[in-house]
């Protein structure tokens, strides 16, 4: 059997994440085979992909020839075996249940070429558990994207206990080739990196609304017109580094006790209940009255604009330059 390369990939599962991976692979020139146990889900994913390509053409983001080329690269198939045949990389985006992931990975490990990499979009599960007992556990790893990956490039990469370091390195290079930004993890923690950080922020946002400190409008404005403007350019450590004349060391030395005091105060008994969810829903509806799909299109377009702006205005690190 001929060893597969990374020019042919398989997407297994075509929900919101799986369909977005289709776009990531197709725009990079990869041949994409798509499979889902629900044919209606595949049809919906292909309809979404076609509509997105048309939208990009209307907005002048994509030429007609390039859009047609991407569309031609995506093929829906009728079986998992057909999807992985000849694929050098497989992106699994199935249901977020350990037993279902384990069963699916048994099938993938049996059907895919032994040299193919098996990546999972899981947002919380440990690959050590997913791949436990598999003969091919060494080629299995978490490749968890930010939603949606065709717009937001950060992608967490984490091997299991038996994952080959060479597979992690090869996958990291592959993600970079696709235009993604690998977030390499050294060990498993529930929620990985950005879902843990997101959960911490969302917990406090919900608690501020629940306790009556402020409403949804105020919380969202504090991020989109405050913290988020900086975070679009640099992370929390980069922001700390620029918020004190002496850099990050000076910042955390000066404000460390203040943060500690806030951390001690952030402990709550917060729990979701139907009344709280409905209250948040009503306020969110007032803040964002546009149809949900229009919100997504607006979000995606603006995120891409921010990415283009950042790429055209890189921070000059000054490394390697000598003073004269």
Confidence of residue 269 (pLDDT cuts 50, 70, 90): confident
pLDDT (0 to 100) of residue 322 = 45
pLDDT (0 to 100) of residue 155 = 98
Which candidate, 210, 149, 212, places its Cα nearest to that of 181?
Answer: 149
Asked whether residue 319 is assigned to any structural domain, the reply reads no
On whether both 152 and 199 belong to a single domain, the answer is no
Q: From 184, 218, 248, give the residue that closes a domain.
A: 184
Q: Are 178 and 186 in contact (CB under 8 A)?
A: no
Q: Are 89 and 9 in contact (CB under 8 A)?
A: yes
On whether both 67 and 137 belong to a single domain, the answer is yes
* Sign for the pseudo-dihedral over CA of 163, 167, 172, 174: negative
Q: What are the tens digits of pLDDT across the range 200-215?
A: 999 999 999 999 999 9
Q: Span 30-41, mean pLDDT? A: 97
Q: Span 45-64, mean pLDDT? A: 94
Residue 154: enclosing H or E segment and its boundaries? Answer: strand 154-159
Q: What are the tens digits of pLDDT across the range 220-252?
A: 999 999 999 999 999 999 999 999 999 999 999
Q: What is the pTM of this model?
A: 0.89
- pLDDT over 70 at 324, yes or no: no
pLDDT (0 to 100) of residue 267 = 81
Confidence of residue 323 (pLDDT cuts 50, 70, 90): very low
Strand partners, 183: 156
Percent of the chain with pLDDT over 90: 92
On whether both 138 and 235 belong to a single domain, the answer is no
Asked whether residue 324 is assigned to any structural domain, the reply reads no
Confidence of residue 116 (pLDDT cuts 50, 70, 90): very high
On whether both 42 and 160 belong to a single domain, the answer is yes
On whether both 214 and 159 belong to a single domain, the answer is no
On whether both 53 and 176 belong to a single domain, the answer is yes
In angstroms, the Cα distances linking 304 to 38, 45, 50, 64, 223 are: 31, 21, 19, 19, 19
Residue 148 belongs to domain spanning? 8-184
CATH number of domain containing 272: 1.10.1040.10
In angstroms, the Cα distances linking 290 to 90, 128, 176 are: 36, 42, 35
On whether both 285 and 150 belong to a single domain, the answer is no
On whether both 29 and 152 belong to a single domain, the answer is yes
- pLDDT over 70 at 319, yes or no: no
Asked whether residue 318 is assigned to any structural domain, the reply reads no
Asked whether residue 323 is assigned to any structural domain, the reply reads no
Q: From 127, 158, 184, give the residue that closes a domain.
A: 184
Asked whether residue 285 is assigned to any structural domain, the reply reads yes
On whether both 201 and 83 belong to a single domain, the answer is no
In total, how many domains does the chain have? 2
Which candidate, 107, 171, 117, 108, places its Cα nearest to that of 140?
Answer: 117
Which candidate, 131, 151, 152, places its Cα nearest to that of 140?
Answer: 131
Asked whether residue 52 is assigned to any structural domain, the reply reads yes
CATH number of domain containing 93: 3.40.50.720
Asked whether residue 1 is assigned to any structural domain, the reply reads no
On whether both 149 and 65 belong to a single domain, the answer is yes
Q: Span 298-308, mean pLDDT? A: 92
Percent of the chain with pLDDT over 70: 97
On whether both 232 and 153 belong to a single domain, the answer is no
Asked whether residue 140 is assigned to any structural domain, the reply reads yes
CA 138-141-146 angle, to 5 degrees, is 170
Q: Are 167 and 156 in contact (CB under 8 A)?
A: no
Burial of 273 (0-12, 13-18, 19+ CB in 10 A): exposed
Q: From 184, 217, 250, give the residue that closes a domain.
A: 184
On whether both 106 and 153 belong to a single domain, the answer is yes
Q: What are the tens digits of pLDDT across the range 129-181?
A: 999 999 999 999 999 999 999 999 999 999 999 999 999 999 999 999 999 99
């Amino acid at each position: 059997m001929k060893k597969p390369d990374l020019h042919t990939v398989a997407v297994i599962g075509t929900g919101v994440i799986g369909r977005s991976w289709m776009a990531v692979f197709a725009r990079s020139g990869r041949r994409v085979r798509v499979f889902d146990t629900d044919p209606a889900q595949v049809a919906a994913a292909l309809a979404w992909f076609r509509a997105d390509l048309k939208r990009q053409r209307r907005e002048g983001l994509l030429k007609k020839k390039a859009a047609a080329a991407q569309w031609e690269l995506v093929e829906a198939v009728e079986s998992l075996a057909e999807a992985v045949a000849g694929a050098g990389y497989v992106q699994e985006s199935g249901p977020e249940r350990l037993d279902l992931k384990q069963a699916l990975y048994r099938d993938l490990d049996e059907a895919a070429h032994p040299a193919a990499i098996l990546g999972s979009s899981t947002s919380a599960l440990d690959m050590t558990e997913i791949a436990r007992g598999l003969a091919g556990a060494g080629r299995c790893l978490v490749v968890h994207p930010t939603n949606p990956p065709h717009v937001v490039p950060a992608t967490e990469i984490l091997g299991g206990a038996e994952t080959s370091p060479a597979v992690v390195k090869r996958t990291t290079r592959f993600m970079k080739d696709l235009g993604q930004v690998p977030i390499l993890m050294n060990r498993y923690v529930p929620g990985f990196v950005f879902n843990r950080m997101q959960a911490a922020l969302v917990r406090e946002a919900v608690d501020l609304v629940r306790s009556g400190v402020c409403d949804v409008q105020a919380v969202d404005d504090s991020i989109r017109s405050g913290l988020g403007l900086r975070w679009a350019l640099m992370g929390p450590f980069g922001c700390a580094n620029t918020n004190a004349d002496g850099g990050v060391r000076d910042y955390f030395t000066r404000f460390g006790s203040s943060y500690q005091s806030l951390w001690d105060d952030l402990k709550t008994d917060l729990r979701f209940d139907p009344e709280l969810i409905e209250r948040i829903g009503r306020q969110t509806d007032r803040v964002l009255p546009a149809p949900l799909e229009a919100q997504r299109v607006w979000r995606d377009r603006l995120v891409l604009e921010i990415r283009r702006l950042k790429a055209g205005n890189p921070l000059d690190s000054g490394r390697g330059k000598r003073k004269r």
